[in-house]
Amino acid sequence: MANKDIDWGNLGFGYIKTDKRFVATYQDGAWNEGTLSEDETVVLHESACVLQYAQTCFEGLKAYRTKDGEIVCFRPDLNAARMADSCRRMKMPVFPEDKFVEAIIETVRANADWVPPYGSGASLYLRPFMFGTNAVIGVKPATEFEFRIFATPVGPYFKGGVRPLTVRISDFDRAAPRGTGHIKAGLNYAMSLYAIVDAHEQGYDENIYVDAMTRTYIEETGGANVLFVTKDKKVLTPKSDSILPSITRRSLMTVARDYLGLEAEERPIALSELENFVECGLCGTAAVISPVGKIVDHGKEIVYGMDSMGEVTQKLYNTLRSIQMCEIPAPEGWICKIN
Ligand code: PLP
Ligand code: COI
C-alpha cells in the first residue's frame, strides 16, 4: 500500500480529495457507461434544476481494509436499492442497481491506496450522488442528470471519537408525514442545517426529531437512526414512514437477534417512554453506533450514562465491526469483496 502521508488514527469526518471519482451522465433518455475522472469539480448551468429546486439525492457507504489486507464494502446492494427509491421519489432516472454496485467497486479499486489500514479505526467513505443538471425555470424535473461517486477517507463522525453524546429533542421538524424523510434527498439535510447549528451553539451534539404530526413519537437524528435498549435487554428502534431506512440499523437488528440472541423490535416509540430505557445509541454508516449518554427534552434530562457505551450497545458495536472487518462470518451477501 502506498504511503499517503495521512495520520489515519486521527482522521475526522471531512473531505480529502482522492485520485479518482466515477462520473456518468444521463441525456436523451439514457445513461452513458460512465468513466473515472480526476476532476473533483462540477461546472453547472446557473439555472440547473439542482441549484434552483434541489433535485438531488445521495448515498453513503464505506470500504474497509481487513486483517488480511483485503478491501471490502458492506452491503452496497442495499445502497443501490435505496438510491433507486430516492430517484423514483425525486423524479430522477434510476442508475441501474447492478451498475451502481459495479461503479462502487471500480471507484474503490481506483482509490485503493486511500483505504485506511486495518486497525486504524478509519475507513474509506463513498458518496454516490445524483443531480439534475439542465436549466429549468418553471418547477419541473430536469431531463439531464449526472451521477457521481467520490471516495474520501474518514474517521469518527462525531468530534472526539466514540464517546457518549448529549442530544436534545428538537423543536424543529425534519420530515413531514407523506414527505421525503424516507429517502436520502439533499433537501432533508438542508432542512436540518439550521437546527444542527443551533444545537451545537446550545452545547448539544445532535437533534432527535419527533414526528411532525403529533410531536409525541421519536423519529431519528439529522444523520442517523436511533436504537434503545430496555431493562430486559430488548433492542428497540422507531418504526415510522418518515425516517430513513438505515442499512446499519437493519443490520444491527439482525446482529441482535442472530448473533447476540436478543429480542429486537421495530415499533413506534413514544417520547414518554424514554426514561424506561437503559441505553440509547445513534446508528448509521457515518455514526457506526455512537452511544447517547443524555437526552435533554426541554429541561428534562434522561441520563443513560456519560462514562462509557452501554453493555448491549457495546456488544452490537463490536459484533458489527467484526463482521465488517471479516473477523467473524457475515450473513450471506453482506460482504462485497473488492480485490
Ligand atoms: N438517517 C439519516 C437521516 C441518515 O443520513 C443516515 C445516513 O445514511 C442514516 C439514518 C443511517 O443510514 P445508513 O445506516 O444506511 O447509513
Ligand atoms: C451516512 O451515514 O452515510 C450519512 O449520509 C450521514 C451523513 C449525515 C454524513
The answer to whether 59 touches 129, Cβ cutoff 8 Å, is yes
Number of the ligand 2 atom closest to the C-alpha atom of 189: 8
Reply yes or no on whether 337 is catalytic: no
Number of helices (H) and strands (E), helices first, in the chain? 6, 18
Residue 174 Cα: closest atom of ligand 1 = 3
pLDDT for 306 equals 87
φ and ψ at residue 206, rounded to 5 degrees: -160, 170
Contact between 295 and 287 under an 8 Å Cβ cutoff? The reply is no
Helix, strand, coil content of the chain in percent (nearest 5) = 25, 30, 45
Q: Is the CB of 60 under 6 A from ligand 2?
A: yes
Q: What is the mean pLDDT of each run of 10 residues along the chain (339 residues)?
A: 79 96 98 98 98 98 95 98 98 98 98 96 97 98 98 89 92 96 98 97 97 98 97 98 98 98 98 97 94 96 93 96 96 95
- Tell me what pLDDT residue 160 has: 74
Ligand number nearest CA of 287 is 2
- Structural domains of the chain ordered from first start: 8-154 (3.30.470.10), 165-324 (3.20.10.10)
Residue nearest to atom 8 of ligand 2 (CA): 223
pLDDT at 103: 98
| SS3 state of residue 26 | strand
Closest atom of ligand 1 to 249 CA is 14
- Tell me, using a 6 A CB cutoff, whether residue 61 lines ligand 1: no
Q: Tell me what pLDDT residue 177 has.
A: 95
- Residue whose CA lies nearest to ligand 1 atom number 4: 223
State the CB neighbour count (10 A cutoff) for residue 132. Answer: 28
Instruction: State if residue 156 touches ligand 2 by the CB under 6 angstroms criterion.
Output: no
Contact 247, 79 (CB under 8 A): yes
pLDDT attached to residue 3: 58
Tell me the best of 157, 189, 196, 251 to mutate to test the pocket of ligand 2, counting ligand atoms within 8 Å of each CB and taking the most. 157
